[in-house]
Structure 1
């Protein structure tokens, strides 16, 4: 029995992949788990392995061809076997003789099944409200993504009855529809990574209300704290590279646990706040940008955080990052300090609510408590957030909390 190799989905935003290289030709034997070809996704190159042992019966794409996620790339089976794709199997006739003899009865049956089996998308909260209020979800038209029924739809039904849907439909018919965003056409002519970045950035700006707040933090205490820890690490002969980025990441994790609304996703009309912090670390490459993720960063010590940030950044730069390593972040940090940039406006890594930009240290003169002039190092912070989810006051509170951890660094180990 033949098996198909399909274009895998390596990341949350991946929609298509490009064939980079074939390792096998039609007619050659392959073993289960053996690499058959290399693909280039939106963010990385990765080998695709054979699902079974057999003969490569057919290839459905050539080098540089682009296929959508889930599309058949190749077929593996026994020698001499006629390759049959999953799509062809699905198209094979399966109607009974009775249905073939009575087409009208078959049509009625098909239509009945269509109505009965139509899928209704509904958020968990909306489903709970339907059950609590004994509503019929089949009579509710969802206004969320993919026609999903949301909390707001249930509230409207409870306030105005099912008839509110008709009023909404009339209003929609009279309104002039806005042109649909065609993100798939963005980035044409660019390499796969730049195309993915172009699409994701335009999608982010088109689906969110982004606002950036800027603030400085006194970094003198953080720098002194780093020196103390580095001495301890050296004395203990530990293999840990403690950078200021690691300490800022730790401070960010703690601030996110204090203000969980900033540690959230807004997607398909549903806001999800997370207890777990999965921290994305924007990593610059020669031809683009990747955001590998430190999973469960809230459970990691400063030393463990330092090791993992170094490890995932190295994998991203070397093209070794798996799809799992590049997905699932709840908040992202991007640091342009090494480039001498002070303030900037980072773009949200949707569906995240916030992203923190870190700039280059600045020397400033201030008056100390005794009225004497002294020089201090300030670190510029740029917080972009989705104004749909958070107001300026909440974002400002998050920055204040973060600054407090940076300026009182011993809180990072408590």
Structure 2
């Protein structure tokens, strides 16, 4: 039976994408791991790999097409013995695209397809198409047949979740030979269970209403790209569904500035120059360890308390922003964090980050100090528990410990907190730990 290749979901939030370029044409033979096309998401351009072997029977979506919905058919794959005449029988499926192909980050040519290593998928040919007790062919993808053969599974006892009941990788990879048909059916039913509907996002005035409002005025209409649409949707959802509260502190930076200057002189032969932001990342990562109850995210009907400090940092790019994540930041030196942040920021601006590099984390930092902003309130990026908004360090008159007025470099910060995850006192402890780390920077090296 011809197999529909579906538009993949290249990230958890992706709903549609642009089919930027086909790298195969009708009649081409593809094998597991072959790159078939390039797909643009709201964040990056990704390559899309084949999992099944076969011949491209028909291309359904032409390159350059925008707004292609996830799980909609983009091409048809023919197996041995099938021809273009069989394509007319294929109907649009509702199942996930992962049964047909897998995404790979554009610069990573050795990434495994759909979670199954290339060495494994290519080690042996797929067994011949099996038949049931009634002599009828059992439709299963080549990869599913290979996995079933390796595990000794009876495909006639497995219900397929692919198009027209086709057995795919997801139906067999979690089963063993001892599993009963009932368990196989249960596993399939679980994989097919619909996801909970996302909360409805209230809309503002309609497009027609806004256009009428500005009728007769001179304006330029700007088309929204995928990134702008995603930012608008996620931040609207964040402000409507996350109960934000805000905590503010002033942080004295004079000790940090002196310490940073000293370190940079010593690191100059290595070509390393630490920024204030590098210290802020380290201070937040350590604070999440010092106040571990605040190192958590909201997961719908539960919270997830993270062990490592995975800190996201907002990076402005043309038309939007990325929040690349520095994982295990509490374990890394300042110079390592600095180098990693520079690399992530550079690739973010070139839109070359893979999804795993900008998804996850429990905490984020948004620093607008370099733009002269004194203070601001940042919107939490779900499912994070908090985000730190960082303003500029400016010289201000302060009252010192002796009660005298002196001049100090002061940085204003605001911690936006998800009240479902972090209560007021806990948020105050987290912000106090961040302040203490920054005002005694040498302790961060201990």
Residue matched to 1:158? none
* Cα deviations by residue, 1:63-108 (Å, 9 ceiling, x for unpaired): 2332333433223446973366696699xxx9998xxxxxxxxxxx
Residue matched to 1:214? 248
Q: Indicate whether 1:305 and 2:337 are aligned.
A: yes
Alignment of 1:44-123 (within 5 A): 44-51=44-51, 55-62=55-62, 63-77=64-78, 81-82=83-84
Q: Indicate whether 1:389 and 2:421 are aligned.
A: yes
> Which deviates the most, 78-87 or 27-36?
78-87
- Secondary structure of 2:265's counterpart equals helix
Alignment of 1:8-407 (within 5 A): 8-28=8-28, 33-51=33-51, 55-62=55-62, 63-77=64-78, 81-82=83-84, 146=196, 181-182=200-201, 190-234=224-268, 237-370=269-402, 372-407=404-439
* Cα deviations by residue, 1:390-414 (Å, 9 ceiling, x for unpaired): 2222212211111000000011111
Q: Contact conserved, 2:71 with 2:94, CA < 8 A, in 1? A: no
Q: Matches of 1:5 and 1:384 in 2, distance apart?
A: 43
- Secondary structure of 2:378's counterpart equals coil
Q: Contact conserved, 1:43 with 1:196, CA < 8 A, in 2? A: no
- Secondary structure of 2:411's counterpart equals strand
Q: Matches of 1:312 and 1:348 in 2, distance apart?
A: 21
Query: 1:88 and 1:266, CA in 2 relative to 1: closer, same or farther beyond 3 A?
Result: closer
Alignment root-mean-square deviation, CA: 3.5
Query: 1:9 and 1:225, CA in 2 relative to 1: closer, same or farther beyond 3 A?
Result: farther
- Secondary structure of 1:333's counterpart equals strand
Q: Contact conserved, 1:10 with 1:322, CA < 8 A, in 2? A: no
Query: 1:376 and 1:15, CA in 2 relative to 1: closer, same or farther beyond 3 A?
Result: same
Q: Matches of 2:5 and 2:205 in 1, distance apart?
A: 28
- Secondary structure of 1:362's counterpart equals strand
- Secondary structure of 1:214's counterpart equals strand
Query: 1:388 and 1:64, CA in 2 relative to 1: closer, same or farther beyond 3 A?
Result: same
Q: Matches of 2:206 and 2:332 in 1, distance apart?
A: 38
Q: Matches of 1:368 and 1:65 in 2, distance apart?
A: 60
- Secondary structure of 1:227's counterpart equals helix
Q: Matches of 1:86 and 1:184 in 2, distance apart?
A: 34
Q: Matches of 2:72 and 2:232 in 1, distance apart?
A: 23
- Structure 2 stretches lacking a partner, 5+ long: 96-130, 135-181, 208-222
Q: Matches of 1:288 and 1:396 in 2, distance apart?
A: 31
Q: Matches of 2:83 and 2:381 in 1, distance apart?
A: 46
Q: Matches of 1:186 and 1:281 in 2, distance apart?
A: 33
State the shift of 1:354 in Å.
Answer: 0.4
Query: 1:75 and 1:232, CA in 2 relative to 1: closer, same or farther beyond 3 A?
Result: farther
Q: Matches of 1:278 and 1:315 in 2, distance apart?
A: 19
* Cα deviations by residue, 1:211-269 (Å, 9 ceiling, x for unpaired): 122211001111111112112212xx324331110111000001111112321111221
Greater fraction helix: 1
Q: Matches of 1:231 and 1:217 in 2, distance apart?
A: 24
Q: Contact conserved, 2:42 with 2:225, CA < 8 A, in 1? A: no
- Structure 1 stretches lacking a partner, 5+ long: 98-112, 122-144, 148-178
